[in-house]
Structure formats: C-alpha cells, structure tokens
Chain A
C-alpha cells in the first residue's frame, strides 16, 4: 500500500506540473519504433559451436594412431561436452534473466497506464521499443500500450497505425484481439473516420469476446451520440447497462456521461442532469472530457456530484 500510495501521489504531482498534457510528445516516432522493436533471432551461434565441436572431436579421434591417445581424446571430449553444457546453462540463465527484466518493464508500463502516469509510461515505451524485443508476445503487449498512450495524447491516426500493424502481424490471442478492435473502433470515432468506425463496429458484433459486451455497447453509444442519433444511444444504454456495469467497473461513468449528452440532445434536462450526476460520481470530469470532447457542452449546465472535501 505504502509504495503504491506514494506512486499515486507522485503521478498526481507530476500531472499537476504537466497541466498542458495535450502537448504531443514528438519523441514517439511510430514507424521508427515499429521497425526497431522487431524481435531478432538470438542464440543461432550455438548450433555452429556444436557442429564445429562435433567435427573437431571426430577428426581428432580418428587421427590418433594409438588406443591410449584415442582414450585421452575421448575423455577430453567428454569433459568438453560438460563444459559446453555448463556454458549453455550460464547463457540460458542470462537469457532468462533478460527476458524477465523485459517482461517486468512491460508489466510496469501497464501499471503506469492504470495509474494514469502517462508521461512516465510514454518515456519507458520509447526506451523499450527503440531496441529489438526478445519475443513477439512482449512486443505485441508493448505496442498495445503504445497505442493507449498515443490515444491519450490525441494522436489517433498513429494509434490506428499501431493497431493495424498488430492486426497485420497477427500477434494477439482472441481475448486481447477483441480488446484491440474495440480500442481501434474508438480511435476511429475520435478521428471522425465514421465509415471505417461503422464497419469496425459491425466486425466487432461478429467477434467472439466483443459481441454483446459492455465495451462494444459503449462504442456504439458514442457513435450514436457523435452522429446525432440520441434515441438509438439511449436504447443501447438501457439495454446494455447491466453488462456495462458488470464489465466496465467505474468506467460505466462514461456510459452515464454519454447518456446525459443524449438526453440533452433530446431536450430532456431532468434526465440529463441525473445521468450527468451519476457520471461525475464515478470518475473525474477532466478524464471524461478528454475521452469524449462532446461532453464539454454539459459542463456548467448540469451540476457535478458532490465529492468529499479531500477529493475535490
């Protein structure tokens, strides 16, 4: 608790200093990072060493004229086999340690994102992706995190490019794939690629893990609010609220925020005020506005939920 408490406070402190967070961190050069992070084959030299050793042993063994000399070569070769095994053991230990360190770093980035420590996450991603990663799986995970950071800094085109690269390389399992497709659809909506977003949503309706999910419902509600179909948005909201509540946790506040906007578009201020109060109860208004700029129009018109003084 102590460490994470301090980390949360440090993140909040840093973000106060970086109030102008929308300033784009230009150092995240997507094409360069996609190229430099490609895993490189390692340990290929071992096969050559083994073949060379076998060849040397055979020639040395066959060229000895006496039985004693052959015996000596045999014993030396046996010892060399075990020295080689020892060397392999040391190298595999070093490789495993490197792999663990890389995995820990990438898991650390995931934690930074959860804690909303965006600048630190961006810096670490820049470092990690600037060199070849050890496995395709770790690279895929790092690229997913990169797309989250890019979306956070409103670089949606870059985020979509990263999503497409991950999809092209077929790097994810089914569960992670559904999540990526949802993020991509959301990024398309933010970038006003409405036709592509609509197609992506149709694809998601047929994707196992995404079809019928609360996250897909949220994307659909956002599309309907964005394209001026508040009735459809509210219909989805009412139908899918139990699933969104169960699957999205506190992010169900986003759904209430979008529902508030839909009620507002339909000129139903009482329901809009109630939905907005619920939305602001579940999370900070600033975060919600960053995700859905369309909600700016509600700020000041409807009252936020009252939070305890320590949190205000």
Chain B
C-alpha cells in the first residue's frame, strides 16, 4: 500500500523536476542557436527538438497508465487499482496534470477503502496545488467534504462544501454534493434547510445508487419528522425500507434510528 506522505512527496518532486527540465530545454534551445561551431547548430537544435518530442510522447503515454483505475475502484478491485496508480506515480511525466491526476486517483481509492484520514490528506495536498482542471478541483473537494464528515470535522466539511457553490456542477457531482450537504445539515440540525425543495431532492436521490439514495431519503424523512410533516416522513421511510436493510443504515448513521423509534446504538458507526 502506497503511504500517503510518500505519494504526496513523490508527486511534488516530479512536478518540480518537470519545471526544471522545461527550463533546461528552453536554455538548450537558446544555447544551440548562439553557441558552438556553425555546422553544429542545426544538429544541436534537432537533437533538442527530438528529445523534447520523445519526452512529450512518453509522458502522454504514461498519463494513460492509471486511466482504468476509476472503473477498477468502482468494481471493488482495489489491489489492481493500487498497482496501476503506484505504477503511474513512479513513472516520470512532463505534464503536471497527469501527476495530479494520479494523486487524485489515489484519493479516490482511499475514499473507497473508507480510509478517511488518508483520503482527506491527499485531497488537501491536491487542493494546495494550482489545479488547472476545474473538474479535478471539484471532485477533490467533494471527496474531502465527505471524508471530513465521516471524521466528524463539521467545520472542515462546511469549508469544502462552500467552495463548490462557485461552479456549475455536472449532474453526477450535484448528486454527490446533495448527499454530502444533507448529511452535513442533519448533523447540525438544519431540518428546515433539508426540507427546502424536497421534491427536487427526491428526484435527484432516485438517480443515486441504492445506499446513497436511501441515506438521503432517510435524512429527508428525519427532517420531515422533526418538522411535523408526517405524510413526507411516512412516505420516505417506506421507500428507504424497500431500498436497504434498516439496521445496516442505522449502523452507518445512528441518528436515523429515530425514524424507526429506536435508540441509537452507542457503538454504532465506529
């Protein structure tokens, strides 16, 4: 398993090395135009050009090494995903975006493995970099927010969530944000905010995988119960019962036990 601090250090080192290499190429171009015997100038320029093209092509090829890791993570093949990401991290690339992408894929993997602290550390390291790609920044923020919520760091989660409102999100990310936001609002007891635009939230929840849909609808049901909306609470609770096993859901989020008239288990969710 790749240690998180090693991964972050390796990516930072490679990015710095790439910058130095680019500067060296620029100096080599200038130097080959002005220094050396006349017949060597064209040859030197050609050598520099070929080296540049070769490095660019091999960097582009290397950036594809871990391209399959998201689908491996989604299908639960964590060992194979880890192997691909490790290989991508060990390979040098001139492209900054490719190195940051492999760090992001490692954050996704740790998130899927429920290693929240490591996932949050990786996302923070990523967001600390200048991210040219907005989608990478948004995805990292979402993972960070969810990891921090799992670690019960509400302030950190709020700061991660708030940064996402500056962008128009794709549907998949909007659904992820909804799940994280409802979870956060339930923890701070903002029941009125949870029930705001409830029909739209239900429609978005219907597109989520079963476990996430059930969690969002259960939080909505709890908010409805707190606000005295029995019609909504009963309807949503019945849907949740058809989607997942209630004890398993309550083990993940003990506050939801209230929906079924039970006391939260003190050890649940640990």
Chain A residues within 8 Å of B51, by CB: none
Q: Does A311 contact B (CB under 8 A)?
A: yes
Q: Does B270 contact A (CB under 8 A)?
A: no
A and B contact pairs by CB, cutoff 8 A, 12 listed: A4-B204, A5-B200, A9-B200, A61-B42, A77-B42, A77-B45, A82-B45, A85-B52, A245-B242, A250-B239, A305-B238, A311-B202
- Listed from nearest, the 4 A-B pairs whose CB atoms lie closest are A74-B42, A78-B45, A71-B38, A111-B171
CA–CA, A247 to B210, complex, Å? Answer: 7
- B49 contacts A82, C-beta separation under 8 Å: yes
- B174 contacts A114, C-beta separation under 8 Å: no
- A249 contacts B210, C-beta separation under 8 Å: yes
- A250 contacts B213, C-beta separation under 8 Å: yes
Interface centre among A115, A173, A308 (most CB of B within 10 A): A308
Chain B residues within 8 Å of A74, by CB: 38-39, 41-42
| With A8-B200, A310-B199 as contacts: A70 and B39 at CB distance below 8 Å | yes
| With A5-B200, A75-B33 as contacts: A81 and B242 at CB distance below 8 Å | no
Q: Does A283 contact B (CB under 8 A)?
A: yes
Q: Does A16 contact B (CB under 8 A)?
A: no
Nearest-neighbor residue (CB-CB) of B203 within chain A: A8
CA–CA, A154 to B184, complex, Å? Answer: 42
- B32 contacts A111, C-beta separation under 8 Å: no
Q: Mark B39-69, 1 if CB is under 8 A from A, else 0.
A: 1011001100100110000000000000000
Q: Which of B49, B209, B239 contacts A85 (CB 8 A)?
A: B49
Chain B interface, >50% SS class: helix
CA–CA, A73 to B198, complex, Å? Answer: 73
Q: Mark A295-311, 1 if CB is under 8 A from B, else 0.
A: 00000000001111111
| With A4-B174, A249-B206, A282-B239 as contacts: A310 and B42 at CB distance below 8 Å | no
Q: Does A67 contact B (CB under 8 A)?
A: yes
Chain B residues within 8 Å of A196, by CB: none
Q: Mark A101-135, 1 if CB is under 8 A from B, else 0.
A: 00000010001001100000000000000000000
Nearest-neighbor residue (CB-CB) of A246 within chain B: B210
| With A81-B46, A281-B239 as contacts: A308 and B204 at CB distance below 8 Å | no
- B42 contacts A278, C-beta separation under 8 Å: no
| With A71-B39, A175-B71, A245-B244 as contacts: A310 and B198 at CB distance below 8 Å | yes
- B29 contacts A82, C-beta separation under 8 Å: yes
Chain A residues within 8 Å of B168, by CB: 3
Chain B residues within 8 Å of A85, by CB: 49, 52-53
Chain A residues within 8 Å of B197, by CB: 1, 5
| With A82-B29, A111-B170 as contacts: A250 and B206 at CB distance below 8 Å | yes
Taking CB atoms and an 8 Å cut-off, the chain B residues in 151-175 that contact chain A are 168-172, 174
Chain A residues within 8 Å of B206, by CB: 249-250, 283
Q: Does B235 contact A (CB under 8 A)?
A: yes
Q: Does B225 contact A (CB under 8 A)?
A: no
- Nearest CB of chain B from residue A310's CB, rounded to whole Å: 5
Chain A residues within 8 Å of B210, by CB: 245-249, 252
Q: Which residues of B contact A (CB under 8 A)?
A: 29, 32-33, 38-39, 41-42, 45-46, 49, 52-53, 71, 75, 168-172, 174, 177-178, 181, 197-204, 206-210, 213, 229, 231-232, 235, 238-239, 242-244
Q: Which of B53, B177, B208 contacts A1 (CB 8 A)?
A: B177
- Nearest CB of chain B from residue A16's CB, rounded to whole Å: 15
- Nearest CB of chain A from residue B34's CB, rounded to whole Å: 10
Nearest-neighbor residue (CB-CB) of B42 within chain A: A74
- Nearest CB of chain B from residue A273's CB, rounded to whole Å: 15
- Nearest CB of chain A from residue B45's CB, rounded to whole Å: 3
- A114 contacts B42, C-beta separation under 8 Å: no
| With A1-B177, A4-B174, A245-B210 as contacts: A281 and B33 at CB distance below 8 Å | no
CA–CA, A169 to B86, complex, Å? Answer: 33
Chain A residues within 8 Å of B200, by CB: 1, 4-5, 8-9
Chain A residues within 8 Å of B32, by CB: 78
CA–CA, A175 to B71, complex, Å? Answer: 9
- Nearest CB of chain A from residue B176's CB, rounded to whole Å: 12
Chain B residues within 8 Å of A5, by CB: 197, 200
- Nearest CB of chain A from residue B254's CB, rounded to whole Å: 22
- Nearest CB of chain A from residue B52's CB, rounded to whole Å: 8
- Nearest CB of chain A from residue B265's CB, rounded to whole Å: 23
| With A250-B213, A250-B243, A283-B206 as contacts: A81 and B174 at CB distance below 8 Å | no
